[in-house]
């Protein structure tokens, strides 16, 4: 896990984790958001600590010797060999990912208060910008959607952090590449992303 220092247009600097492991965006985003609430910092060597802290974020499954991070740095999981059942954390990270109930319980177990809003098919799902502040970020679940012949299909998802606001835009920290983006509050992320769920942290 690499930490990129990124600065928004107002001069605020953030440590943005760049994920190296597929399906690790939720843990990276939870860790960034928790550090913002606590006003602490993250460094490269804290990946193991992040995995231990959120080990039960993978459907309550404890880490085993073959789990990512068990021997130090994150590793790549072969989705074809991970299984489809969710009975191992390899399956969760390599194939299925995690979801909002898991994020909520993991954060609450670490003393973070969470208020959740969901799109539930009501698009666009905009963030409540008045909730975002220096110690009150939000975890944002984005779905990647495509439309073919009038039919919408969800292809996969991603988790990012809404770290604050600048000039009417939302400052997003994205572990996919470790980048900071300032985007309008229009319920979208990128060209195919739609905001599906928002967890406001405090």
**How many domains does one find in the chain?**
1
Can you give the pLDDT of all 202 residues of the chain as single tens digits?
A: 678 899 999 999 998 988 876 677 888 899 899 989 998 765 656 667 776 677 656 545 544 433 333 333 334 444 455 444 444 444 444 444 578 888 888 899 889 999 999 998 888 999 999 999 999 999 999 999 998 888 989 888 899 999 999 999 999 999 998 999 999 999 999 999 999 999 999 9
The CATH number given to whatever domain includes residue 153 is 3.90.70.10
**Domain limits at 86?**
2-201
Q: What is the DSSP letter of 122?
A: -
Full-model pTM: 0.76
Cα distances from 103 to residues 33, 35, 84, 157, in angstroms, run: 11, 15, 20, 14
| The two three-digit tokens of residue 15, written as one number | 């440590």
| The two three-digit tokens of residue 109, written as one number | 């177990």
């Amino acid at each position: 896990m690499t930490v990129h220092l990124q600065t928004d247009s107002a001069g605020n600097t953030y440590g943005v984790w760049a994920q190296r492991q597929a399906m690790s965006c939720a843990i990276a985003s939870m860790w960034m958001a928790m550090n913002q609430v606590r006003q602490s910092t993250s460094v490269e060597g804290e990946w193991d600590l992040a995995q231990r802290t959120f080990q039960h974020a993978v459907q309550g499954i404890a880490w085993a010797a073959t789990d990512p991070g068990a021997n130090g740095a994150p590793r790549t999981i072969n989705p074809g060999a991970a299984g489809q059942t969710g009975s191992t954390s390899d399956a969760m990270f390599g194939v299925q990912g995690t979801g909002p109930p898991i994020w909520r319980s993991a954060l609450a177990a670490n003393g973070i208060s969470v208020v959740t809003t969901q799109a539930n098919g009501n698009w666009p799902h905009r963030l409540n910008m008045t909730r975002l502040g220096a110690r009150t970020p939000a975890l944002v679940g984005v779905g990647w959607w495509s439309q073919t012949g009038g039919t919408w299909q969800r292809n996969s998802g991603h988790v990012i952090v809404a770290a604050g606001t600048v000039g009417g835009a939302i400052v997003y920290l994205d572990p996919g590449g470790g980048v900071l983006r300032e985007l309008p509050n229009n319920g979208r992320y990128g060209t195919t992303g739609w905001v599906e769920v928002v967890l406001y942290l405090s």
